[in-house]
Chain A
Amino acid sequence: MRNDDWKKVSRLVSKKSLWMVHFCTGCGAMEMPPVMTSRYDMERFGIAPMATPRQADVLLITGYLSIKTLKRVVQVYEQMRDPKYVIGFGSCTINGGMYWDSYNTIKDLSKYIPVDLYIAGCMPRPEAIMDAFLKLMEMIEKGEAIGWKKYHKYYDQYKRNQRMAFSYRLDEVQDIKEDDAK
């Protein structure tokens, strides 16, 4: 069993048993119960809800993120263990959705944490979520779901964006711009 065979097995195994922790901000949380219960039953793919990021593999962001919740989401994301994946639910995570012009929600999730999969729709229906899970499992098997590697590679950019989002006083924004110039 050479190294990449091990990789293949570990990808297969992590595909077949995805443990998710979902950060139920906004209206996406309502879609999760039907996915878990008898109608759509995500458990048949080995996906089980977990209470803590330590035990989880996939983080579901199910709605708009205000700056305050972003701070918690980053903390939860960093507490998860590699290999970890993120799925963004709904248009609010893609481009801010209906809160596109609001001052305190973030517009593009992938600027702050690497997102492997987005699900379009102003709250996607359970079928879309099931389809997303299957899509994610495929990506894991093919090795395309490499969000956590990107986070390590571009760690300081992500941190810069996060500081930019968290800082609301003008002078703080000014020094971040000067750091970029350097």
Chain B
Amino acid sequence: MTYELLQPVFIISSALIAIGLYGVMTKKNMLKIILSIGLIDTGVNVLIVAMGYLPGGTAPIENGNYAVYVDPVPQALVLTAIVIGVSVMALALAVAMGYYRKTGTLELDKEGVMKW
């Protein structure tokens, strides 16, 4: 289908996801982890929107002239995904604030953490 056209989109979203994952995997600071999660979400949302792309389609807004519309369903999905991403990030920040108030640090290092 139109995957050759979507090549750049794939590159951008996988790059975004890779950076996000790198951030989660290496950083100790809670805020940095939250940011990298945000990055992963944006990467995925870009991909979903790209799924609905039709060559030459315009934005799916009904204004009378029946031009070719891009598939509206993924965009609906992305809307909910973005809302969910925001709420998760808000909750994460609240938790990080609570943790900071309790322990005075935002670092999740080897000793202070519940392990084994």
Q: Do chains A and B touch in the complex (CB under 8 A)?
A: no
Q: Which B residues have a C-beta under 8 Å from some C-beta of A?
A: none
